[in-house]
Amino acid sequence: MSEISRLVIAAPSSGSGKTTVATGLMAALTAKGFVVSPHKVGPDYIDPGYHALASGRPGRNLDPWLVGDDLIVPLLAHGAAGADIAVIEGVMGLFDGAASPHGSSGAGDSRGGDLASTAHVARLLDAPVVLVVDVSGQGRSVAALVHGFMSYDTRVRVGGVILNRVGSPRHERICREALDEMGIAVFGAIPRSEVAATPSRHLGLIPPAERSARAVDAVAGMGELVAATCDLESLVRLARSASTLPGRTWTAREAVGDLTGAGAGTDVVVAVAGGKAFTFGYAEQAELIEAAGGTVALFDPLSEQSLPAGTRALVLPGGFPEVYAAELSANEPLRRQVAAFGGPIVAECAGLLYLCRELDGRPMCGVVAATAAMTGTLTLGYRSAVAVRDSVLTREGERYHGHEFHRTRVTPSGDAEPLYRWRGGADGYGGPSLAASYLHLHWAGAPHLAARLVSRARH
């Protein structure tokens, strides 16, 4: 059983200001001395980076598609250990989720298309929801909008709203009066402001790792904005009204269990790429690698000319290598070392591009016999993929639930059997020492991946 004060920040639709409010609330509460545990619904990597800046703790994802319903409460409890309050930012609109359930996720709490939605996660966590509503262009109609969201699924407890992009004191008064007539609590009214604006590009917000001091300033601005315009005490009271959560707390050691086999220790160095070009990763991956007997060594392919000393396995996560293709290509000593590396390599999306022979015409590592290039088409969505061959991570016939998110295309130089197939698609390159694909996986949902990687590196 876990006593976790918790709050979900949701919205009627994307673009309503969830990230600004959630990040600002984390920063404002942290400034007041609260220990805040930051979480994000869905597979998003970028928002958790801002959450981490705001709270000083790792941003963590809660996604029933990637890990299954049964792990959502344990993962929240894991992330929130030692925290005073958990703030969970939603994804898209409150009820927007995957198109249809997949049978192995235990998705009985979802209602058709809202699998992996904010509402789905809020129900699993029995957490109160605060709806961030963009009121630009409306007045009293906001009450009808919120009433609709509150009545659509009564299993989701909408505790009140925060009005965003309020045009004037009169505009705020009109909205508040209409909501008050409906008995709907208003926890804040945020005026139209560019104080906390976060710049975007082809895949959304620019990750905080790429903005350094500007990201810190933006998060500070969000915190000051929320502190000045929202009722923090009432929001904390709402979070504390959440029920006691049943069940266990997730731990990497328990998840890996006996999968590591004999000879487990911490002697296997697993190099994990980071820096500005490789910013997409889930915090639990490193924890699982270490629980399986590895020692995680971070390195930056943009600036470091060699792999960490003693590297026995290499993990290349997602990110934006296309933005830094020239710099990655210019680091020829590291590219040559990766090309000659004999240990296991795991690469997701950005990592796959880095392993190709070239990216946008610039030489890369050449581990994968393919070329990569930017395109104008966004490829986005959940995938229920089946491994069609063995690899360092997978065994033929195993099913994995992942996520694809990119604007690039990889073209193999010849015929190659893919690593994964799913309805309408196929992808990836695999072998005894390689698993490279566009597919992003959350290893908490498949902890044997960490055990297999470390075991292969050791033996």
As beta bridge partners, residue 406 has 379
Q: Are strands 370-387 and 399-412 parallel, antiparallel or unpaired?
A: antiparallel
Q: 425-427 and 6-10 as β-strands: parallel, antiparallel, unpaired?
A: unpaired
* Non-local CB neighbours of 261 within 8 Å, separated by 6+ positions: 451, 455
Query: Following CA atoms 367, 373, 379, 382 in sequence, which dihedral angle do they give, to the nearest 10 degrees?
Result: 10
Go through the domains of the chain in sequence order and give each one's CATH number: 6-240 (3.40.50.300), 252-458 (3.40.50.880)
What integer pLDDT is reported at residue 108 of this predicted model? Answer: 45
pLDDT of residue 297: 98
Structure pTM?
0.93
pLDDT value at position 150?
97
Q: Left, alpha or beta for 104 (phi > 0: left; psi -120 to 50: alpha)?
A: alpha
Question: How is residue 3 written in tokens?
Answer: 């006593």
CA distance 445 to 412: 30
**How high is the pLDDT of residue 397?**
98
Q: What is the CA radius of gyration of the chain?
A: 22
Pairing assessment for the beta strands 311-316 and 345-348 based on DSSP bridges:
parallel
Alpha helices in 106-212 (DSSP H): 118-125, 141-152, 169-181, 208-211
3-state secondary structure of 33: coil
**Of 329, 288, 332, nearest to 441 (Cα)?**
288
Distance (Å) of CA 222 to CA 14, 52, 195: 18, 13, 7
349 carries an active-site annotation: yes
Cβ 111 vs Cβ 153: under 8 Å: yes
Check if the beta carbon of residue 53 is closer than 8 Å to that of residue 219. Answer: yes
pLDDT of residue 201: 39
Selected catalytic residue, list 230, 349, 356, 365: 349
Contacts of 51 (CB under 8 A, 6+ apart): 22, 23, 26, 38, 39, 40, 59, 87, 89
In the chain (459 residues long), the average pLDDT of successive 10-residue segments reads 92 95 98 98 92 96 97 98 98 85 43 84 98 97 98 97 97 98 98 65 52 81 96 98 95 86 68 94 97 97 97 95 92 98 96 97 97 91 96 97 93 89 94 97 98 95
